[in-house]
Structure 1
Amino acid sequence: MLETVLDNVGGLSKRHTPESLRALLLARSTRRPDGCLIVQGYGTQRGVHQKIAGRAWAHIVAYAVFVGPVDPTLKVDHTCGVKDCVEPTHLRQISHAENCRTRVQAPTCRNGHERELDPATGRLRRQCRRCNADAQQRWRIRQAAERAASLTPQGMAESKARWDAR
């Protein structure tokens, strides 16, 4: 069997050829002044990875049809940092470790708190201390409620007596 450039692209509909995908990507894309070629895949949200031609990621399909075969051990990365860009000169294949090292981190957590630098890794912590403390408090409350619900009135009295004896 002849190997094609599309063999390592996951989620791609089998009816597509490299030529039909090239035409589809160009028809659904618009050029921005900064040089990015922005694709409109399934859905309306801008700024996120887009799917096209089945369940395949548009930037991986673009790499396969415009640049060459995709190595399944490597990730397709955007040098421009725009997740819905399919410009072939903005795409490259790098290792997962390199992809994680070069990823831009947001200075605040999803709740808007400032994130601290982790001295062990030199990168920003994934979760700020405030959100972590809030999550631990919610966990403690849930655990206490589950324990209280699981105890019978007699068991709760015995537990209280043991606790008070400490």
Structure 2
Amino acid sequence: MLSAVKGLSRYHTEESLRVYLLERSHRTEHGCLVIEGYGRRRGVHQKVAGRAWAHIAAYVVLVGGYDPALDVDQTCGAADCIEPTHLRQLSRAEACRSRNQLAQCRNGHDRELDPATGRYRRVCRSCNREAQRRWREREAAEVAQARAAYGRS
């Protein structure tokens, strides 16, 4: 079953991978078993044992019954959690529907609901307007620099 996990080192057996994952993880006060993979950032999906995603490798060895056609999702919402009771497999569409969406963007602006889907829009209008303004300023500066390089004013 380990051969179904993309990027997993071929030198691991199920038992050695189980020990490896448990040695690299620690329990939090919320009950999550958080793994420390190759990346420095916490709270994001981690890679371990070659180039395999830790939550997928943990599902294979700690839960079992892995289907490569389905996504492995954490019910707790912590991307670096490998607690077996927090892992589940579901379709890509179901995983996308179950994602938690915040009512505000990362800059604190309120997001609008998309009437077609009933979900929040990916980018709020204020942030989009500001990004377009910055892009127009960059483009104008490049045009001015190119004109100055060719001797035009």
Question: Could you say which TM-score interval applies, normalised by the shorter chain?
Answer: 0.7 to 0.9
2: CA distance, partners of 1:46 / 1:141: 35
Paired position in structure 2 for 1:39: 35
TM score, norm. by length of structure 2: 0.85
2: CA distance, partners of 1:46 / 1:136: 31
Paired position in structure 2 for 1:120: 116
- Once the two structures are TM-superposed, the CA of residue 145 in structure 1 deviates from its matched residue by 4.8
Asked whether the equivalents of residues 8 and 69 of structure 1 are also in contact (C-alpha less than 8 Å), the reply is no
Q: Summarize the alignment of residues 7-46 of structure 1 with structure 2, pairs less than 5 Å apart.
A: 7-46=3-42
- Once the two structures are TM-superposed, the CA of residue 32 in structure 1 deviates from its matched residue by 2.6
2: CA distance, partners of 1:139 / 1:37: 42
Asked whether the equivalents of residues 41 and 52 of structure 1 are also in contact (C-alpha less than 8 Å), the reply is yes
1:131 aligns with 2:127: yes
Q: Residue 38 of structure 2: SS of its match in structure 1?
A: coil
1: CA distance, partners of 2:30 / 2:135: 46
When residues 44 and 143 of structure 1 are mapped into structure 2, their CA distance, relative to the original with a 3 A threshold, is closer
Task: Output the amino acid matched with 1:139.
Answer: W
1:125-149 CA-partner distances (Å, limit 9, x unpaired):
1111011112222333344455563
Q: 1:106 pairs with 99, 102, 109, which one?
A: 102
Paired position in structure 1 for 2:49: 53
- Once the two structures are TM-superposed, the CA of residue 45 in structure 1 deviates from its matched residue by 2.3
When residues 141 and 46 of structure 1 are mapped into structure 2, their CA distance, relative to the original with a 3 A threshold, is closer
Moved more, 140-149 or 92-101: 140-149
- Once the two structures are TM-superposed, the CA of residue 31 in structure 1 deviates from its matched residue by 2.1
Paired position in structure 1 for 2:83: 87
Bigger CA radius of gyration: 1
| Alignment coverage as a number of residue pairs | 151
- Aligned-residue CA RMSD (Å): 2.2
> Could you list the runs of 5+ residues in structure 2 that have no partner in the other structure?
none
2: CA distance, partners of 1:153 / 1:51: 52
2: CA distance, partners of 1:133 / 1:145: 19
> Could you list the runs of 5+ residues in structure 1 that have no partner in the other structure?
157-166
Q: Residue 100 of structure 1: SS of its match in structure 2?
A: helix
When residues 32 and 142 of structure 1 are mapped into structure 2, their CA distance, relative to the original with a 3 A threshold, is closer
- Once the two structures are TM-superposed, the CA of residue 108 in structure 1 deviates from its matched residue by 2.2
Q: Residue 77 of structure 1: SS of its match in structure 2?
A: strand
Task: Output the amino acid matched with 1:20.
Answer: S
